[in-house]
Amino acid sequence: MVTGRKYFPVIFSALLLGGGLAISILDAAFFEEWVKIAWYALAYLPVGTPVVKKAVDELLRLDFANEFFLMSVATIGAFAIGEYAEAVAVMLFYEVGELLQQDAVGRARGNIKALLDLRPDRATVKRGGEWVTVKPGETSVGEVIMVKQGEKVPLDGELLSESTTVNTSAITGESRPDRIYRGDRIHAGSINTDGVAEIRVTRGFADSSLSRILNLVEEASQRKAPTERFMRRFARWYTPLVMSMALLITFLPILIVEGYVFTDWVYRAFVFLVIACPCALYVSIPLGYFGGIGSASRNGILFKGADYLDRMKDLHTLIIDKTGTLTKGNFKVTQVNAFGIDSEELVRLTAALESRSNHPVARAVVEFSGSNHSGLKVEDVTEVPAHGMKARIGGKEVIAGNVKLMARHGVEIPTEAASIPYTCVHVAIDGRYSGYLVIADEVREDSASAVSKLKKMGAREIVVLSGDREGITREVAGSLGIDHAHGDLLPEEKTAIVREYLDRKRGFVAFAGDGINDAPSIALADIGIAMGARGSDLAIETADVVIQTDQPSRIAGAVSISRATNRIVWQNIWMVFIVKALFLGLGAVGVAGMWEAVFADMGVALAAIFNAIRILHKKA
């Protein structure tokens, strides 16, 4: 935010300007011409000097196509023809606009400052059997840190404690506390809200998720949207054109106006220059995009540049990975069918066997069983990679795995079980088929609403890609209302499908994913989107947009913020052009004076600024 000291020059000039106008109205005898010049010159210096200095600096670089040059020429000229108060007023209101712009940018950066405040300045690390307090930057990967209840997590890591609850709202925009368990990732900037947590550091301080977020948001403001780049090119011919027209207004009437008075026409030219100053566009357009980026990051959506924010409004096709994006990537046992054995006993024996494996499917079975399988003696364990396991449990031979493993051991699977499209753990006991456990990936709670919102927003095609089975992929897509689905894909096959949609040239194509195998498709798409909470580093680094919450609905939120930003930017552009065109005409024919010029210039600039900051309150 703007500090109070920055307002001193403006307040000083405003007091002198107000005092000068009051004295002029009272027609005080001492307010002679030389006193008036000195008075208004003193009022002009605090607000005019910075602008004139910038104009001179640009002239030394042989650049006069800027608003500083126009302001300087117009106000110095106004002084030359005796319009002292108007010259001060132009610079005064310009500086007020600049301060309000800084204040608005400060508000846009408020969420970034909140992240900075979240970055802890100390970490409690275990060294030599004791807990010592150090700066986060002094810790190393692999060390164990302790975070007490209510403290901020200083570094990215892996939870060693049994479980804890963390508040990630400042990073992800998600207000609901997140319960995590041993082995889960925990991000720097999260707040531990449940007891004492021990964490093994997995990333150095500079590489933490919080530091990456800050860098992404700060760098995003440097990447310009097409509208911003156009306005910079526009200024290159606009300023010379305005200067030429001002010269014509001054000297052309000599040929066509009887009783030509030089000071009258040069006054009109200076009025014209003040009105023509494009500072309202220079201020409001970047502010609009910066506000959009700030609003998005507050909602857990990180745009790596204003150009990507601008593209999102024209999303035509969204191609989205299934596992970990539309689904949670967490395998759960959803169904148990037993043949000739109690289903609880089937689960108990299967979990005892699977407890010897680290495969995600095996962990799902063990988690489903709870502690029921403890106490069983497991011997002669044999694991067949990509197929399953075999062992002796309580004197019985237990085989658990896929169809191919059953066939290898001569176990016949009933048609009912063989036709299930989902992942199944088939179980045989002593050579006889005994049942199966269905393992399915959970669909995210907001995936259906994400698809619905995107369709309402005009996304023409939504496509699901997955390395998972074709049948599973199509069933998930159908349950979410998605028409196009492709399964059994290798990474290069995903990329080929993305390229096929890009070649159709029907609008911007976005790809959303979270894994290392998604990175090529993310890089290829017009808009690459990474699900950042649990996504791979490569996917996040490659992406143009990062969804910090892993909620697919935030993609729709990104489109909404993009469109709101674009709408506000173009509202400002049209407002500025219409008001300026009107007053330029009035100024050229002598109807509008310097005070009207001040309104046309800074009045419309202030209106544009206030309009632009509305985007800060946009919800995803």
Q: Which residues are catalytic?
A: 321
E-strand ranges in 322-431 read 327-338, 378-384, 388-393, 396-401, 423-429
CA distances from 436 to 270, 307, 404, 420, 605 (A): 87, 51, 14, 10, 70
Q: Which residues contact 413 (CB under 8 A, 6 or more apart)?
A: 403, 406, 426, 433
Q: How far is CA 470 from CA 323, 358, 501, 514, 516, in A?
A: 13, 25, 20, 20, 21
The count of other CB atoms within 10 Å of the CB of residue 504 is: 11
CB-CB contact of 306 with 294 (8 Å): no
Instruction: Say which DSSP state 290 is in.
Output: H
Residue bearing tokens 């990975």? 321
| CA pair distance 279, 75, nearest whole angstrom | 15
Q: Angle of helix 604-612 relative to helix 279-298, nearest 10 degrees?
A: 10
Strand spans (E) along 68-222: 123-127, 130-134, 144-147, 157-159, 163-167, 178-181, 185-186, 191-192, 197-201
Distances (CA, A) of 168 to 162, 174, 299, 566: 19, 7, 12, 29
